[in-house]
Amino acid sequence: MGGRDHLEAHTAVKIEQHYSGPTVYVQNASRTVGVVSSLLSATLKEDFVARTRKEYETVRIQHARKKPRTPPVSLQAARDNATSIDWESYTPPVPHRPGVSQVEASIETLRNYIDWTPFFMTWSLAGKYPRIMEDEVVGEEAQRLFADANAMLDKLSQQSLLKPRGVVGIFSG
């Protein structure tokens, strides 16, 4: 199950131990097929459920070791600490280009905003970019996939095969 995220911890701490049946957190929809196949398999289910329960027990132990959070303040203390804003004399800024505008950007510009982590997850390579590139298990495959994706972006850009366009609307009250 790789790196722990807060939803997996929530599943282990708040849900799994209070339900008698198998409980499995799945990070994204592309992972559900393997999980469901394991749960439906007469030969794989028992080991899969036992392994998951053991992992969740480890997650609960790690969660219990964390430093306790600062207790929340009372509602009255929060109200007493409220920020005072003079809304009567506030004038919101006016958008430079209000209304609907068409926008265009080059592939090179958009490449700077690609979130590669979900891209790798789609290809069933678990890990966060850029650390995944050095991962001892999937790093080599991630590097190949990354190179292929960037070669495709290069080709699309150099041959003008794709012209990214969009529409944005900025409205003020």
Per-residue model confidence as pLDDT tens for the chain (173 residues): 444 577 888 888 888 888 888 889 888 777 788 888 889 999 999 999 999 999 888 888 888 888 777 888 999 999 999 999 999 999 988 888 899 999 999 999 999 999 999 999 888 888 899 999 999 989 999 999 999 999 999 999 999 999 999 999 998 76
Domains in the chain: boundaries: 8-65, 99-170
What are φ and ψ of residue 25, in 5° steps? Answer: -85, 130
User: Tokens for 32?
Assistant: 């559900």
- Look up the pTM and report it: 0.47
In angstroms, the CA 94 to CA 171 distance is: 9
Closest to 94 measured CA to CA, from 148, 18, 173? 173
- Topology of domain 99-170 in CATH is Cobalamin-dependent Methionine Synthase; domain 2 (1.10.288)
Burial of 26 (0-12, 13-18, 19+ CB in 10 A): middle
CA atoms within 13 A on the CB side of 118: 5
Predicted local confidence at residue 115, as pLDDT: 94
- Per CATH, the number for 8-65 is 3.40.50.280
